[in-house]
Amino acid sequence: MGQLAHLGFKRYPPAKSLSPWIDWFWQINCVSDNQSQTDFMHPDGGSGLIFNFADPLHFNRVNRSETALINGPALNSTRFNVSGYVDALGIRFKPGALSALVNAPVSELKNECLSVNNPCVSPIFIHWAEQLAELKTTQARIRWVEKRLLPLFNQESANLGRISPAIALICRSSGDLELAELLPEVNLSQRQFERLCLYQLGMTAKKFCRIRRTIQARHLLKTQPVAFNIADIAYQLGYFDQAHFTHEFKQIIGITPGQFRNKALNSSLALTHQI
């Protein structure tokens, strides 16, 4: 794979029974002596569970030596560095799915990277890393995790389904819609819907729409010819004007659309898969 190939990054699809809640499993396996190599995890509204079997990982320059971590939904891009021996397995959850696995509103976990020992996290994960470390192949580890996650999600499927039609619509539209268009999808009052978004999604529907729009923006900035200028992209994505697009994009990604495009064209910015 082109992205994160220097880290031995691989993605694996989940079992079909888990696909409503999991985007993919991923693995990183490498020996790295270049901690100055920075990759960026751009927000998509989802969350993650990471099992680390080797040297510490580094998120936003913070050394994380825990064997298991929960990544709550991010509102901004995250810096990611590794050094030494890296052997990690992760699960990328779809937006809203994390609420089945934690003991608190997901809004309390946004922008957080928590040890599974945290009271907000279900205690069932505390010993998973030790048991997974005994398995020798990635496929065996994935099957082990799938077997234990499926009943947890099945148990919470009715609750997760309350706002999942609205989440799916936001994703299909790349966030270019209004709140009034979402309410008929969920048969909830606006107040009920907004409360459930905070509890399950970890953010308001409006914020989630903004994040999903930046995903499409990043795709267009990387793939559209340079002749297709920033104002054209802003118009195509439904922004009021270029200034509105630039402000919102920089607020989430950390740099302007123009800077992002230049770095992408020059390959000086690692544009990564979300983990």
Whole-number pLDDT of residue 154: 97
Write out the residue range of the structural domain in which residue 234 sits.
211-271
| Residue 127 sits in the same domain as residue 10 | yes
| pLDDT recorded at residue 1 | 36
Same-domain status, 14 and 150:
yes
pLDDT of residue 135: 96
Residue position matching structure tokens 């009943």: 151
DSSP line for 61-91: TEEE--SEEEEPPPSS-EEEEE-EEEEEEEE
- Same domain as 36, residue 148: yes
- Answer yes or no: do 35 and 122 share one domain: yes
Q: What SS3 state is found at 233?
A: helix
> Which pLDDT does position 230 carry in this prediction?
93
Asked if 25 and 40 sit in the same domain, the reply is yes
Number of compact structural domains in the chain = 3
pLDDT along the chain (275 residues), means of 10: 67 97 94 74 96 92 93 94 89 97 96 94 90 94 98 95 96 92 93 96 97 95 85 92 96 94 71 54
Sheet containing 47-52, strands listed edge to edge, beginning at the edge strand earlier in sequence? 10-12, 22-32, 84-93, 47-52, 68-71, 113-115
Beta-sheet strand order (sheet of 78-82): 62-64, 57-59, 78-82, 39-41, 270-271
On whether both 198 and 95 belong to a single domain, the answer is no
193 shares a domain with 227? no
For residue 43, the cross-strand partners are none
Residue 126 DSSP SS3:
coil
| Euclidean distance between CA atoms 58 and 40, whole angstroms | 12
Q: Whole-model pTM?
A: 0.92
d(CA 180, CA 184): 8
State whether 134 and 119 are in the same domain.
yes
155, 161 contact by CB (below 8 A): no
